[in-house]
């Protein structure tokens, strides 16, 4: 279990973390979502003791990363899939990592098999596509058979097949009882993968909930009515609803639940072909939540501030 | 520390550049040494040549390759970002620095042994042809001779200390080009500037205080005229290496990566 509590960090005049706090529980995939510059990568670097926080703590099973004996057996991480020496082969890259944890070559071959890189094991990692490097990075994260995994934007550079593989893989890892933290700036990537979502913006958590709770939180009670009759609006307003949009035969109303709308229209004898509660997608929920904290609205500014 | 050292050894072993750099270090050291032994003449019994020193001339070029090997082992990780992977595997930073220093020094020691051994052998075979003969009062170069053994063994230590200095400098500077630049300036530019000084006191002080003072370990003749005694010279270099590693240890613990 990873517990992040009140992290603050400044890079010069810029506040990267502003009281970041959340928990990554075992046995589920926790999505760590936020726009670029929200502090996701910095948080992960602080958890791994790569960056020092000005304030706050990040503990793994109650201990600081730096104090862990053979740390890769506690937390596996993938921050930057290109953080390797390009001239070394994939297998040798994993081999020095294994040796650093007192593990042998047998474990290297196991994880290569698990991520589907056995055939490319003796190729130079520098020649790998980003998708293959992501797989190699996952293999490195799994090397110590850790109880917690932390992956920064693992979907980056993956082809559709790779994305499907990654989703299933993350679910399987959580199914094995591991705590899995996965960051992304795209909610859609995590929609069907994450059990729990931590939404970050401007260095702090702005929502920390299950996927269902998150949807409900931004659901605004809008009901969509499809009707050929011009009397529908009048009937609904009389019953206490407000019509907030009308477009051809479609009305959007608030103030009445869907079943009440159906009852009112049926009671007045107004014909209708559809009454449905508007359900925001996770993407809409996310956009709604992060509306005020998106730093770079246009363009795709790089993550981080250095 | 044991596992960290194992990892650093595996890194060196599996980097394609390592073997070529080690071969280059041996070839250049032995080649230049052999060339010096074959070409620096001794025409009379009164000649001032120092056979051991001449046969170890190549160390002055071999050290550049040792510098490149040591710098790349450190700065290469910063260039690719692999340092972050290394630090997640070995989060105790002074342990990582120590493991790297020991691994690089170990590889340097083995290489230096081969390079220096070959150089001494070349000197033994070639020096008589240049006039370093019994007739001029010289015995064949032999490691059983105390001063020659000190010069040869000291040259191996010299190369190891250069490697440690380079590891320290590269850990502080982090950039490959800048690290190699700093090291080459210390090893080649500073001695040239020192030679050009006209004030004899300043010249002597600089010869005593810069890293290349360590080359004094190679002197076996006319020890009364050298700027600094052999072991003192090596101690000066050791102090430089210790200083650089200390600065590296402080910075690697406090800096974000």
Residues 131-170 of A with CB under 8 A from B: 140
In this structure, are A255 and A208 located in the same domain?
no
Q: Please give the ipTM for the structure prediction.
A: 0.90
- Note whether A196 and A234 are same-domain residues: no
Q: What is the pLDDT of residue A306?
A: 43
Parallel, antiparallel, or unpaired: how do β-strands A29-33 and A204-210 relate? unpaired
Q: Would you give the DSSP letter of residue A297?
A: -
Q: Does residue A130 fall inside a structural domain?
A: no
Counted domains in chain B? 1
**Res A67 pLDDT > 90:** yes
- The chain A residue lying nearest B10, using CA atoms, is A96
Residue A208 lies in domain: 2-74+146-216+283-290
Select from B6, B17, B81 the Cβ nearest to the Cβ of A83. B81
Residue A228 lies in a domain: yes
User: According to the model, what pLDDT value does residue A301 have?
Assistant: 44
State the smallest CA–CA distance between residue A85 and chain B in angstroms.
Answer: 6
User: Is A95 in CB contact (< 8 Å) with chain B?
Assistant: yes
Enumerate the residues of chain A whose CB falls inside 8 A of the CB of residue B256.
45, 50-52
CA distance A196 to A190: 10
Q: Which residue of B has its CA nearest to A78?
A: B85
Query: Could you tell me if residue A109 is inside a domain?
Result: no
Contact (CB<8Å) A72/B89: yes
Domain CATH for A250: 3.30.70
Residue A83 neighbours by CB under 8 Å, 6+ apart: B80, B81, B82, B83, B84, B85
Q: Do B80 and A88 touch (CB under 8 A)?
A: no
- What are the tens digits of pLDDT across the range A115-151? 999 999 999 999 999 989 999 999 999 999 999 999 9
Query: How many structural domains are present in chain A?
Result: 2
Among B9, B85, B94, B100, most A C-beta atoms within 10 A, so best to mutate, is B85
- The answer to whether the Cβ–Cβ distance between B87 and A92 falls below 8 Å is no
3-state secondary structure B24-85: HHHHHHHHHHHHHHHHCCCCCCCCCCCHHHHHCCCHHHHHHHHHHHHHHHHHHHHHHCHHHH
Same domain, A154 and A194: yes
**Residues of A whose CB is below 8 A from B3:** 70, 99-102
CA–CA dist A45, A29 (Å, integer): 19
Q: How confident is the model at residue A218 (pLDDT cuts 50, 70, 90)?
A: low
Among A77, A84, A140, beta carbon nearest to B80: A84
Q: Which of residues 55-94 of A touch B (CB under 8 A)?
A: 65-66, 68, 70-72, 77, 79-80, 82-89, 92
User: Are B66 and B105 in contact, with CB atoms under 8 Å apart?
Assistant: no
Contact A82 B10 (CB under 8 A): no
Residue written as token pair 């050009």: B196
Low-confidence ranges of chain B (pLDDT < 50): none
Q: At what angle do helices A231-238 and A258-268 cross, to 10 degrees?
A: 120
pLDDT per residue as tens digits for the range B183-220: 999 999 999 999 898 898 999 999 999 999 999 999 99
Mutation for A interface: B89, B95, B174, B253, most A CBs within 10 A? B89
**Per-residue model confidence (pLDDT) at position B94:** 94
* A211 and A232 belong to one structural domain: no
pLDDT of residue A170: 94
**Inter-chain touch A97–B7, beta carbons under 8 Å:** yes
**Residue of chain B nearest A65, judged by CA positions:** B91
Report whether pLDDT(A216) > 80. Answer: no
Q: For residues A303 and A161, what is the distance between their CA atoms, to the nearest angstrom?
A: 25
Note whether A155 and A269 are same-domain residues: no
A168 and A60 within one domain: yes
Cβ contacts below 8 Å, chain A against chain B, sum to 86
Q: What is the CATH number of the domain that holds A194?
A: 3.40.50.300
Domain that residue B222 falls in: 2-254
The verdict on residue A141 lying in a domain is no
Residue with tokens 């990873």: A2
What digits encode the pLDDT tens for the residues A239-285? 888 888 788 888 888 888 888 889 988 888 888 988 888 776 777 77
Q: How far is CA B252 from the centre of its chain?
A: 24
Q: Is residue A263 part of a domain?
A: yes
Q: pLDDT tens digits, residue range A32-65?
A: 998 888 999 999 999 999 999 999 999 999 999 9
CA distance A80 to chain B (A): 8
If you search the block for the tokens 């009515």, which residue do you land on? A225
């Amino acid at each position: 279990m990873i517990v992040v509590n009140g992290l603050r960090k400044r890079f010069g005049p810029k506040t990267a973390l502003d009281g970041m706090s959340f928990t990554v529980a075992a046995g589920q995939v926790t999505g760590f979502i936020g726009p670029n510059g929200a502090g996701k990568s910095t948080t992960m670097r602080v958890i791994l003791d790569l960056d020092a926080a000005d304030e706050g703590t990040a503990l793994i099973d109650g201990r600081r990363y730096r104090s862990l004996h053979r740390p890769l057996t506690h937390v596996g991480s993938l921050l930057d899939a290109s953080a390797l020496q390009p001239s070394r082969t994939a297998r040798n890259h994993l081999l020095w990592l294994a040796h650093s944890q007192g593990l042998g070559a047998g474990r290297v071959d196991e994880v290569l098999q698990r991520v589907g890189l056995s055939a490319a094991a003796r190729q130079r990692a520098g020649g790998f596509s980003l998708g293959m490097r992501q797989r190699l990075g996952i293999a490195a994260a799994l090397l110590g058979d850790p109880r917690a995994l932390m992956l920064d934007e693992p979907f980056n550079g993956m082809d559709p097949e790779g994305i499907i593989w990654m989703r299933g893989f993350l679910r399987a890892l959580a199914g094995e009882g591991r705590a899995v933290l996965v960051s992304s700036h795209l909610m859609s990537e995590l929609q069907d993968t994450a059990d729990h979502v931590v939404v970050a913006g401007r260095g702090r958590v702005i929502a920390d909930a299950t996927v269902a709770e998150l949807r409900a939180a931004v659901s605004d009670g809008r009901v969509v009515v499809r009707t050929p009759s011009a009397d529908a609006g009048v009937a609904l307003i009389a019953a206490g609803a407000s019509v907030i949009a009308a477009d051809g035969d479609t009305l959007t109303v608030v103030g009445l639940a869907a079943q009440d709308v159906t009852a009112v229209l049926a009671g007045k004898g107004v014909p209708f072909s559809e009454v449905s509660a508007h359900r925001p997608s996770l993407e809409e929920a996310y956009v709604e939540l992060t509306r005020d904290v998106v730093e770079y609205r246009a363009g795709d500014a790089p993550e981080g501030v250095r | 520390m044991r596992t960290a050292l194992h990892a650093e050894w595996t890194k060196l072993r599996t980097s394609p550049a390592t073997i070529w750099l080690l071969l280059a270090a041996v070839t250049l050291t032995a080649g230049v040494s052999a060339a010096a032994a074959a070409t620096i003449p001794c025409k009379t019994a009164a000649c001032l040549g120092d056979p051991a020193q001449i046969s170890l001339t190549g160390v002055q070029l071999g050290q550049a390759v040792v510098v490149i090997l040591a710098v790349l082992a450190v700065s290469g990780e910063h260039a690719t970002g692999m340092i972050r992977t290394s630090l997640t595997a070995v989060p105790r930073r002074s342990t990582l620095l120590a493991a790297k220093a020991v691994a690089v020094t170990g590889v340097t020691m083995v290489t230096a042994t081969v390079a220096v051994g070959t150089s001494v052998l070349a000197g033994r075979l070639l020096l008589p042809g240049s006039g370093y003969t019994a007739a001029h009062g010289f015995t064949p170069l032999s490691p059983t001779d105390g001063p020659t053994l000190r010069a040869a063994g000291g040259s191996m230590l010299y190369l190891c200390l250069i490697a440690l200095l380079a590891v320290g400098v590269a850990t502080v500077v982090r950039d490959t080009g800048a690290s190699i630049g700093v090291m080459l300036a210390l090893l080649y530019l500073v001695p040239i500037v020192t030679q050009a000084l006209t004030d004899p006191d300043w010249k002597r002080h600089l010869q005593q205080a810069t890293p290349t003072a360590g080359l004094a370990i190679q002197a076996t003749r006319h020890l009364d005229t050298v700027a600094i005694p052999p072991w003192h010279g090596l101690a000066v270099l050791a102090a430089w290496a210790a200083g650089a590693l200390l600065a590296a240890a402080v910075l690697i613990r406090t800096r974000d990566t």
